[in-house]
Amino acid sequence: MQGPEMLGGRYELRGVLGRGGMAEVREGWDTRLGRAVAIKLMDPALTALPENRRRFEAEARAAARLSHPHIVAVHDSGEHNGTPYIVMERLSGRTVADLIAAGPMPLAQIRSLLGDVLSALSAAHAAGIVHRDIKPANILLTDTGVPKVADFGIAKSPDSGHTATGLVIGTLGYLSPQRLAGRPATAADDLYAVGVLAFEALTGRVPAPQENLAAVRPDIEPALASVVQRAMAADPRARFADADQMRAALFAGRPQTLFLDQPLPDPATAYLPVPTPPRRRRTMLGVIGAVLAVLVLVIAFVVDTASRSGTPAPVSTTTTQAPTTTTTVTPSTATPTTPIVQQPVPPPGRGNGGEKKGENGKGPKPKRGDGG
């Protein structure tokens, strides 16, 4: 009886775990370390193309450089009878796509899932790797339900070279408007795909343009809805700066934009988020306002007390006895100010010119016979 097929004289091939566009994933056994593994074998029909082989090898190198609790670990790689293979850690075989197929997920579970995926992408982006194919089927689950990002087969990394101009690589429905237009992939495109994944986990399907998330999932928390909408903004400038910022907003507990009552953005259009002042800034403004209010009350109280006590305000005056005497104080030439003139109070019955007022107070009373 012929024994099981061996790879590299070490890995025993067993049943099929799944198939993808470029490869087949088989269950395996590491005879050297005595542990279960998953072995990804490139489709033999695609091995003749150098580009396919290069991409498969780049996946192995990219994933092997990443050591993270939420990224599928790569143990080894090689070639067997002309077929490249990658040896990875063995997981349950279930994916987030299986969870979504059972119906919309609970909000707490979605928040935890997104936090783990964003943590993995933060590590990948820091290493210069853009996944380019984030979707539920590429998020594998451990036996205890811990999510792990897998399938870096089309990842963009320093080893993967440059994608041909106009060539769109990825899964339709999770591609940003920029990717659909043929622009080079960036970390912002991965975050867009995370937003689509979140919408699908919330509703059971990918979003349509101009769809209102709150109307589809009424029980969604405003902060979570805000994060999903901002991640899916058509304009990449309106999205989060990086995975760490998006993850921080996810657990911050407050909305990041003011578009919760509007539909999801149309890929043909774009908007920028309305900035929300930081909480610390709002607190400082409130404290300053309160201090100014107290200061105004204190000043008003002092002025009111002084007026009630009859204490006059200090005023410099010059006492004169002659009613027609005017004292003028002129400042020194070194001080460019207007001279200060103080005039005495005129005696009763006389105007400013010393003449006697008439009954109407406008001039001297005319005598009879004057001027007719």
Query: Residues with catalytic annotation?
Result: 133
Lookup: tokens for 367: 């005598």
- Residues 6 or more apart whose CB falls under 8 angstroms from that of 226 comprise 249, 255, 256, 257, 259, 260
DSSP assignment of 169-226 equals -S-TTS--HHHHTTPPP-HHHHHHHHHHHHHHHHHSS---TT--HHHHSTT--HHHHH
Q: State how far the Cα of 175 lies from the Cα of 134, in Å rounded to an integer.
A: 9
58, 155 in Cβ contact below 8 A? yes
- Residues 6 or more apart whose CB falls under 8 angstroms from that of 103 comprise 204
Q: State how far the Cα of 165 lies from the Cα of 184, in Å rounded to an integer.
A: 8
163, 185 in Cβ contact below 8 A? yes
Q: State how far the Cα of 106 lies from the Cα of 80, in Å rounded to an integer.
A: 44
Q: Which long-range contacts (C-beta less than 8 Å, at least 24 apart) are formed by 318-321? A: 318/342, 320/344
Q: How far is CA 267 from the centre of its chain?
A: 19
**Residue 296 zone, left/alpha/beta (φ > 0; ψ -120 to 50; rest):** alpha
Question: Is 367 marked as binding a ligand?
Answer: no
- Residues 6 or more apart whose CB falls under 8 angstroms from that of 234 comprise 176, 177, 265, 266, 267, 268, 269, 270, 271
Binding site feature residues for ATP: 40
Return binding residues.
Answer: 40
